[in-house]
């Protein structure tokens, strides 16, 4: 299966360019369409060359818009003043109104484009309450890979109440797969889906017509509100991390709701060491784990039982794989989402 990016990536680049210096925008506008569709991140570090991260490579960009893998004359870079100016523009010149997000290290722009930021932290009793002198940012362009979550749709056919955990390292495509899976569950499976979107990353994204989106809600509270007021069959959210969130999931399970979640981990062994995963597993909140490595590439699906067996050294004969060949298990065939 070949997964193609939609033109929304180009639209999102135009959105981001509204906040960038004209010379950087002019250089980015010279990128060919096929490169724009593979552009994942724009990394800005004050007084250092701008770096572009694509799905298949990372490069520098020159003042003239030429891509190069090597440092050379005429590299595009932003001064400390320009970097601070970009930050203020992204905050709509109202930094105080976004203080909580900034303290958490991010800003979300229109279209679900998330910007990671850093600088000099202001702390109070060991907690970051603000960030000053912004000196770097990672602009992550949101994009759609229609049907990238297709292998996961087979799970719901086998088990309508399946709880799915999407696993992978940063920039592996977890949020992209989550959004597309919500669309499939909502539009094709006709399930009532609720997305608790704490960082507003579904703005402008197609997550399905039968999907309710709680934007900006803290995850634990949003889950509780969704269960009590929206009668969802599926609740989806990004990056489970706290004990409160795990507790809200377990309460939701007891109300007959199923969950689709993402979690940061480099591999299966790291996942098994995470305390939040152990709590989820103990509460029966994980039926299947999907392991991603890089956006648009193959991913592996294991049942919770298979994952537990693997951790104890079994032969994994029942493993569900998304690979070049189809592997049959539970009478389901998982096709590969191959970029």
Residue 76, pLDDT score: 98
Residue 7, pLDDT score: 59
| pTM for the full predicted model | 0.78
d(CA 167, CA 304): 13
159-171: burial string, b at 16+ Cβ within 10 Å, e else = beebbbbbbbeeb
Report all structural domains of the chain as residue ranges with CATH numbers, in order of start.
8-140 (3.30.450.90), 150-333 (3.40.50.300)
Residue 295, pLDDT score: 65
Strand order in the sheet with 127-140: 67-68, 58-61, 51-54, 39-45, 127-140, 114-124, 106-108
278 membership: H or E segment, kind and range: helix 275-282
Residue 315, pLDDT score: 42
Those residues of the chain that have pLDDT short of 70 are 1-7, 158, 160, 295-297, 311-339
Strand order in the sheet with 300-303: 211-215, 193-197, 234-237, 258-264, 164-168, 288-291, 300-303
pLDDT in tens, 35-74: 999 999 999 999 999 999 998 899 999 999 999 999 999 9
């Amino acid at each position: 299966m070949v997964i193609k990016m939609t033109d929304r990536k180009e639209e999102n680049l135009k959105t981001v360019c509204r906040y960038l210096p004209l010379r950087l925008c002019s250089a980015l506008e010279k990128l060919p369409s096929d490169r724009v569709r593979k552009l994942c991140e724009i990394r800005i570090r004050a007084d250092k060359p701008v770096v572009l991260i694509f799905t298949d490579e990372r490069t520098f960009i020159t003042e003239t818009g030429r891509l190069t893998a090597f440092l050379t004359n005429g590299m595009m870079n932003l001064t400390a003043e320009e970097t601070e100016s970009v930050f203020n523009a992204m905050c709509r010149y109202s930094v105080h109104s976004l203080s909580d997000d900034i303290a958490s290290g991010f800003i979300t722009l229109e279209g679900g484009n998330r910007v990671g930021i850093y600088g000099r932290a202001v702390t109070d009793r060991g907690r970051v309450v603000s960030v000053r002198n912004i000196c770097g940012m990672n602009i992550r362009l949101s994009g759609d890979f229609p049907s990238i979550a297709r292998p996961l749709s087979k799970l719901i056919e086998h088990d309508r109440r399946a709880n799915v955990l999407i696993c992978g390292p940063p920039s592996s495509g977890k949020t992209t797969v989550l959004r597309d899976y919500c669309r499939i569950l909502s539009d094709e499976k006709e399930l009532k889906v609720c997305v608790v979107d704490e960082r507003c990353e579904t703005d402008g994204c197609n997550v399905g017509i039968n999907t309710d989106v709680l934007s900006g809600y803290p995850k634990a509270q949003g889950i509780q509100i969704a269960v009590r007021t929206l009668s969802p069959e599926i609740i989806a959210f990004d990056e489970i991390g706290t004990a409160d969130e795990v507790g809200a999931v377990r309460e939701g399970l007891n109300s007959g709701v199923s969950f689709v979640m993402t979690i940061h981990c480099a591999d299966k062994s790291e996942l098994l060491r995470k305390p939040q995963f152990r709590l989820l597993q103990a509460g029966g909140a994980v039926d299947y784990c999907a392991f991603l490595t890089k956006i648009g590439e193959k991913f592996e699906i294991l049942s919770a039982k298979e994952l537990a067996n693997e951790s104890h050294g079994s032969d994994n004969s029942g493993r569900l794989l998304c690979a070049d060949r189809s592997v049959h298990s539970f009478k389901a065939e998982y096709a590969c989402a191959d970029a």
